[in-house]
Structure formats: structure tokens, C-alpha cells
């Protein structure tokens, strides 16, 4: 299927519910890689090896290996070579470097802004012909079972085209030291104003403990002897980039926008609402109430949380187990992130999608599709969600007996498993109750990943860098001259 796509009118991806007619906007003409679907008999006649690159560390990779092993049992004539690239940015860089050489993997995980660049490099394979194949073992006849909000990300580039399927999805949650909170009758904050207030209470309590002879909190029994007043901050946020994007939206500001085509993006975060939001947290930092991992020269606040250096941390729902301390030193609670105003409550939709790249034979393309189909099936994806910290991408996965049994958590006593389950329960709660959150992603364009990297420096610049908010944002804008 070699097609040249012309510029199309942008349509709203928020109403996407089906495969055809729910995509986004095209740009300059691109030659899409050819798709020639061979028969299963042809594929079965020989062993086909495909490369699958992913970003995961050891624990999530183990969950992925289990599902891939099940796939290889079902398809003994397909060998999958798994290779981790040690993080999302490293993965994107590795793929981008191999596009000119033709040595890209057959299957890859990635964010929409990664896919935008792969599409511009003419190596991203559209999946329509596979999805719509009449052979039931190849085609995808339960497409509508996949959560529509996840599909928006994969159908935003060209109207009517699907370039990936959702695989590992998560959101952000607030983890807190439940042992400490319960001992001091502290309320888990629902708003950012409450977040500041409870941080003030925490700081007062911990200051008293650290000024005591024993440095042991009598109420909770926690030993703070390894903590100092200089390094203790009650609240923290793992990802400075996610933080800026989220608070910009919650305060009513704008982050970026896409032009007439996905090649062209525009930065919008230089606005009063974003500055007001950043100033709120700069003030908290100056009052010793809030920090980012950069404050401790760490990559993640969880490294500090587990040793009592902070009592609250916002981070990925898929990584909550990293907040469980060695020896179950304290109990970890999981809750929704705070919001600024109820009508603007928003939480970021995280996690990557799985796609096929053009490198390979027709046999490899069909084998790659069968792997994609299996990894996003009710059976395969639900098992991955159970084994990892991620969420099912299908309604049937969430409703399955196996997943619901996990959610019941009867008989489970392992602290890491309990925290993981608590995180999975928080995700749907964002859309329940009197304050309903919007789960959002920002439309991808070529270079949007670069914008994200730059804005990830704004919060640390106003804290560790001691910049004013205006200075930090102006410096970020100056680094992005192509997106004004």
C-alpha cells in the first residue's frame, strides 16, 4: 500500500470512537511504507525473526518477556528479539539514528511525538490494512473494545489512518506516607491550596522531631535520624515536565498547539496563567515546603520518599512500587493528584503505544502485526497489566475476572502488590465523584518532544537555579525559536 497523502483539514480527535474518519491532520506529502499482507500459510512455512525495541527497566521488562513468551508459544514460527534501550528518550534517539540506515526495529514502543518523527522519516507503517483484514486471525474485529481516548493518540496525524495501538498506559497519582498521615490525623489534600496547607503542617511536625534528642516521631514511631532540616521537604513532584504541563492546564493556561499540519507546532506556555502556577510552587520551595528531584540531585523523588526525606510525591501510577520502603518501614497511601479549581481538574494520560516500522520483509511485517495484535489483546494486555503497574487498554481487560480478582486483593499482603493495586484503583476514580478530572494528552507535532525536554527545566530553574519565573520561561522560549 504505497500512498501519497495530501494536506487534510484538522478534525477534532476528541470525538474519535471508530477507525475511519477519526484521525487528525496531514502535512506535506509522505510516502507511506508498503503493506502487502502475505497469507498465514506463507508465514508458517518458515521461521521469522522480528526485533522489538522497548524502554523498560528490569521489572517491567520481565512482565513484557512473560507475555512475549506466551505469544511465541502461540506462534512457534515467530521469534521475537527483545531489546531494551534504557528509557524513552534513549529509545527514540536509537530509532531516529537508525532511520537513515534502514536498521530500525520491526516493532517499537513510543509516544505520539516520537511517531510524528518516524512518520516524517517515512518509516511508520499504517495499520489499517491489517486491522481491516478479512482473515479473522489477522484482522481486528473487536476494535471498539479499546478505550477510545487511547486511540486518539494513534489517529491524530492523518484522517482515517491508524499508526499504532495503545500498550502500556498509566497516569499520575499522589503517593503519601500513610503511617505518618494517620498518626498525625493529616488529611490527604484534594486541592493545591490544601497541598500547601498540609505541607506546612508536616514541616512543623518534622522540625519538632528533628529538634528532639531522639529524632524519633513518637506518634508514628518513624526514625528521622537520617534526615536533616536542610534536606527535608514535605512535598515533591517526580517529573518537572509533567508538572509544568499539568499545572498550566489546571490554572487555565495553554502549553502548545499544532498548526495546520503535524510538522508545525507552536509554544504557548509564555502566558500569565502558567507563570501564576509556577510562582505558586516557587513560593512553596522558598518556604521549604516543596521540591523536585533536582533539589536532592536525584532522578526520582521516590529515592527520597523511602528514606523519609519527603512525605508526599506525585509520580507515575506505573511506578508507585518504587515508593515502598525497604523492610516495609511505613505504609504507603495512594490518592488522586490535587487540582487548582474543580472545573479545570486535569490529569495527564501517560504511557506509550506500539507501532510497526518499515524495516523488514512482508513476512516480518505480518509477524510484527500478529505480535502487536497479541500484546494489545484482552488476554495479552491484561496479563501485562496484572504483572506490571500499567492499566488495561481494553474495556474487556478491566472487566475480566483475572483483573477484577487482582482489584479485590483478597489475601494479598505484600506491600508492593498492595500499593500497585491501590494505584490501579485510583485511576478510574478520577472520573467519579463530585469533581471529575479530564485525562489529557497534548497533540503531537515534529519537535514536541524537544519542547517537552526544554520545559522540563523551568521548575528546577526557579528552584535550584533561583531564576524568577519570567526569567525561566523566557529562557525556555529562547531555546525554542522554531516554535513561536
Ranges of each domain in the chain: 13-170+351-408, 172-348+414-483
pLDDT of residue 59: 87
Q: Is the pLDDT of residue 19 over 70?
A: no
% of the chain beyond a pLDDT of 90: 86
Task: State the DSSP string of 21-62.
Answer: T------S--BPPP-----HHHHHTS-EEEEEEE---HHHHH
In angstroms, rounded to a whole number, what is the distance separating the alpha carbons of residues 354 and 141? 18
The mean pLDDT value for 192-205 works out to 98
pLDDT of residue 85: 96
CATH number of 172-348+414-483: 3.40.190.10
> pTM of the prediction?
0.89
Pick from 56-60, 173-177, 280-284: least confident: 56-60
- N-to-C CA span, the chain: 36
Task: Look at the block and give the residue holding cell 506509550.
Answer: 352
pLDDT tier, 229 (very low <50, low <70, confident <90, very high otherwise): very high
> Taking Cα atoms as reference points, which of 152, 135, 170, 49 lies closest to residue 373?
135
Each residue of 340-372: pLDDT tens digit?
A: 999 999 999 999 999 999 989 999 999 999 999
pLDDT of residue 263: 83
pLDDT of residue 4: 34
Q: Is the pLDDT of residue 34 over 90?
A: no
Q: Is the pLDDT of residue 54 over 60?
A: yes
Task: Assess if CATH 3.40.190.10 describes domain 13-170+351-408.
Answer: yes
Pick from 99-108, 145-154, 170-179, 403-412: least confident: 403-412
Q: Is the fold of 13-170+351-408 the same as that of 172-348+414-483?
A: yes
The mean pLDDT value for 270-292 works out to 98
All three cell numbers of 287: 518556604
Each residue of 395-454: pLDDT tens digit?
A: 999 999 999 999 998 888 899 999 999 999 999 999 999 999 999 998 899 999 899 999
> Taking Cα atoms as reference points, which of 154, 140, 149, 150 lies closest to residue 374?
140
> Taking Cα atoms as reference points, which of 354, 350, 352, 351 lies closest to residue 124?
354
Any alpha helices (H) in 376-430, and if so which ranges?
Answer: 378-387, 395-399, 401-408, 415-429
Is the distance from CB of 355 to CB of 164 less than 8 angstroms? yes
**Percent helix / strand / coil, the chain, rounded to 5:** 45, 15, 40
Pick from 194-198, 308-312, 385-389: least confident: 385-389
pLDDT of residue 394: 97
pLDDT of residue 29: 63
**51 — alpha (psi -120 to 50), left (phi > 0) or beta?**
beta
User: Taking all residues of the chain, what is their mean pLDDT, rounded to a whole number?
Assistant: 92
In angstroms, rounded to a whole number, what is the distance separating the alpha carbons of residues 290 and 284? 5
Each residue of 80-115: pLDDT tens digit?
A: 999 999 999 999 999 999 999 999 999 999 999 999
Amino acid at each position: 500500500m504505497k500512498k501519497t497523502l495530501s494536506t487534510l483539514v484538522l478534525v477534532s480527535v476528541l470525538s474519535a470512537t471508530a477507525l475511519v474518519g477519526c484521525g487528525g491532520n496531514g502535512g506535506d506529502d509522505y510516502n507511506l511504507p508498503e503493506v502487502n499482507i502475505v497469507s498465514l500459510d506463507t508465514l508458517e512455512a518458515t521461521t521469522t525473526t522480528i526485533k522489538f525495541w522497548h524502554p523498560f527497566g528490569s521489572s517491567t521488562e520481565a512482565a513484557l518477556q512473560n507475555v512475549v513468551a506466551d505469544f511465541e508459544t502461540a506462534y512457534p514460527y515467530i521469534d521475537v528479539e527483545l531489546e531494551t534501550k534504557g528509557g524513552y528518550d534513549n529509545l527514540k534517539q536509537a530509532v531516529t539514528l537508525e532511520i537513515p540506515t534502514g536498521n530500525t526495529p520491526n516493532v517499537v514502543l513510543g509516544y505520539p511525538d516520537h511517531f510524528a518523527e518516524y512518520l516524517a522519516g517515512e518509516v511508520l507503517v499504517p495499520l489499517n490494512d491489517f486491522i481491516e483484514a478479512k482473515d479473522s486471525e489477522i484482522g481486528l474485529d473487536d476494535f471498539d473494545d479499546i478505550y477510545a481516548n487511547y486511540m486518539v493518540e494513534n489517529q491524530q496525524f492523518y484522517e482515517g489512518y491508524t499508526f499504532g495501538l495503545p500498550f502500556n498506559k498509566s497516569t499520575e497519582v499522589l503517593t503519601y506516607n500513610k503511617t505518618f498521615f494517620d498518626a498525625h490525623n493529616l488529611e490527604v489534600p484534594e486541592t493545591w491550596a490544601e497541598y500547601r496547607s498540609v505541607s506546612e503542617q508536616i514541616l512543623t511536625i518534622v522540625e519538632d522531631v528533628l529538634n528532639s534528642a531522639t529524632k524519633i516521631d513518637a506518634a508514628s514511631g518513624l526514625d528521622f535520624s537520617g534526615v536533616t532540616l536542610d534536606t527535608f521537604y514535605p512535598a515533591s513532584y517526580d517529573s518537572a515536565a509533567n508538572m509544568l504541563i499539568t499545572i498550566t492546564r489546571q490554572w487555565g493556561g495553554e502549553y502548545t498547539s499544532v498548526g495546520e499540519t503535524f510538522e508545525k507546532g507552536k509554544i504557548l506556555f509564555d502566558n500569565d496563567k502558567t507563570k501564576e502556577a509556577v510562582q505558586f510552587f516557587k513560593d512553596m520551595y522558598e518556604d521549604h515546603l516543596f521540591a523536585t528531584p533536582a533539589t536532592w540531585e536525584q532522578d526520582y523523588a521516590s529515592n527520597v520518599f523511602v528514606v523519609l526525606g519527603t512525605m508526599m510525591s506525585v509520580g507515575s501510577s506505573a511506578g508507585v512500587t518504587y515508593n515502598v520502603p525497604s523492610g516495609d518501614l511505613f505504609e504507603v497511601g495512594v490518592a488522586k493528584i490535587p487540582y487548582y479549581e474543580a472545573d479545570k481538574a486535569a490529569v495527564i494520560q501517560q504511557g506509550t503505544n506500539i507501532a510497526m516500522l518499515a524495516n523488514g520483509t512482508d513476512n516480518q511485517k505480518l509477524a510484527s502485526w500478529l505480535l502487536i495484535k497479541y500484546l494489545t489483546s484482552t488476554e495479552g494486555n491484561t496479563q501485562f497489566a496484572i504483572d506490571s503497574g500499567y492499566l488495561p487498554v481494553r474495556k474487556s481487560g478491566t472487566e475480566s475476572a483475572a483483573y477484577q480478582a487482582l482489584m479485590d486483593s483478597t489475601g494479598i499482603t505484600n506491600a508492593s502488590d498492595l500499593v500497585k493495586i491501590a494505584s490501579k484503583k485510583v485511576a478510574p476514580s478520577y472520573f467519579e465523584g463530585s469533581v471529575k478530572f479530564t485525562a489529557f494528552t497534548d497533540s503531537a507535532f515534529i519537535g514536541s518532544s524537544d519542547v517537552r525536554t526544554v520545559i522540563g527545566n523551568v521548575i528546577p530553574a526557579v528552584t535550584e537555579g533561583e531564576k524568577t519565573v519570567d526569567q525561566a520561561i523566557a529562557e525556555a522560549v529562547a531555546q525554542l525559536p522554531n516554535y513561536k
